[in-house]
Structure 1
Amino acid sequence: MADAYLSGELGSAVGFAGAGAALGAIAQQNDQLSQQVSSGQLKMNPDAANKAADVYESKAMEVNQLVRLAAGLERVDGLGEYGSAQELASKFGLKASNGSTGAADLLAKLRDELIRKADLFRQAAKDYVATDEQIGQDLQRGSQA
């Protein structure tokens, strides 16, 4: 499920700008899901929701490993002392992390959205249980009256 989610959105992204745009679309999807959960429009079977949440959390942990690796690319050594070599090393560093659109930055945003999606699924499961319990209480009161 998470693989389809990732490959569907990010698989079509070209370069860092495309990945940033795809992450924006993922954030919007999560915003819509959040609205559905908070308004009570979405309740999910707890087993299914928790399994999906576990998958998204697992994928988030995998992406977090990539964040660490990408952040390690900020410093590029061995290109020499010439100005052009230093400039090239700086450009590589910015591609790794520049605060918003570097590889580590984009991966961190993806990790955060995966965690957010897992949290939303868990909330939908809690809402399902709460609704189920409320219906049970209402039925019990109705049968006692």
Structure 2
Amino acid sequence: MADAYLSGELGSAVGFAGAGAALGAIAQQNDQMSQQVSSGQLKMNPDAANKAAEVYKSKADEVDRLVQKADALARVEGLGEYGSAQQLAGKFGQKARNGSTGAADLLANLRNELNRKADLFRQAAKDYVATDEQIGEDLKRGSQA
């Protein structure tokens, strides 16, 4: 599920700018899901929702490992003292960390959105259980009246 989510959005992205745009679309989908959960329009079977949440959490953990690797690119050493070597090291640093458009930055945003999606699934499961319990209580009161 998460693989299809990622490949569908990020798989079509070209370069860092494309990845940033795809992350914006993912955030927008999460915003819509958040609104549905908050308004009570989205409630999910707890088993299915919790399984989906675990998949997204697992993917977020994988992406977190990539964040750490990409972050290491910001500190490239051993290229020498020449100006061209220092410029090259600086370019690696910018590709790794550049506000919101560096590789580590984009990956960190992806990790955050995956964790957010997992939390939304967990909340949808809780809402399902709460609604189910409320219906059960209402039925008990109705049968006792």
Q: Distance in 1 between matches of 2:67 and 2:95?
A: 13
Does residue 20 of the first structure (1) align with residue 11 of the second (2)?
Answer: no
| Residue aligning to 1:60 | 60
Q: Write the letter of the residue equivalent to 1:89.
A: A
Give the alignment of 1:1-145 within 5 angstroms.
Answer: 1-145=1-145
Q: Write the letter of the residue equivalent to 1:64.
A: D
Q: Write the letter of the residue equivalent to 2:17.
A: A
Q: Distance in 1 between matches of 2:54 and 2:7?
A: 18
1:73 is paired with a residue whose SS is helix
Give 1:84 deviation, angstroms. 2.0
Q: Write the letter of the residue equivalent to 1:136.
A: G
Give 1:80 deviation, angstroms. 2.7
Give 1:127 deviation, angstroms. 0.3
Deviating 4+ runs (over 4 angstroms): none
Q: Distance in 2 between matches of 1:90 and 1:23?
A: 25
Give 1:98 deviation, angstroms. 1.7
Segment of structure 1 superposing worse, 33-42 or 81-90? 81-90
Give 1:106 deviation, angstroms. 0.4
1:12 is paired with a residue whose SS is coil
Q: Distance in 2 between matches of 1:83 and 1:143?
A: 84
2:123 is paired with a residue whose SS is helix
Give 1:83 deviation, angstroms. 1.4
Structure 2: segments with no counterpart, 5+ residues = none
Give the number of aligned pairs.
145
Q: Write the letter of the residue equivalent to 1:60.
A: A
Structure 1: segments with no counterpart, 5+ residues = none
Give 1:33 deviation, angstroms. 0.1
Q: Write the letter of the residue equivalent to 2:129.
A: V
Q: Write the letter of the residue equivalent to 1:37.
A: V
RMSD across aligned C-alpha pairs, in angstroms? 0.8
Q: Distance in 2 between matches of 1:76 and 1:69?
A: 12
Identity of aligned residues (%): 86
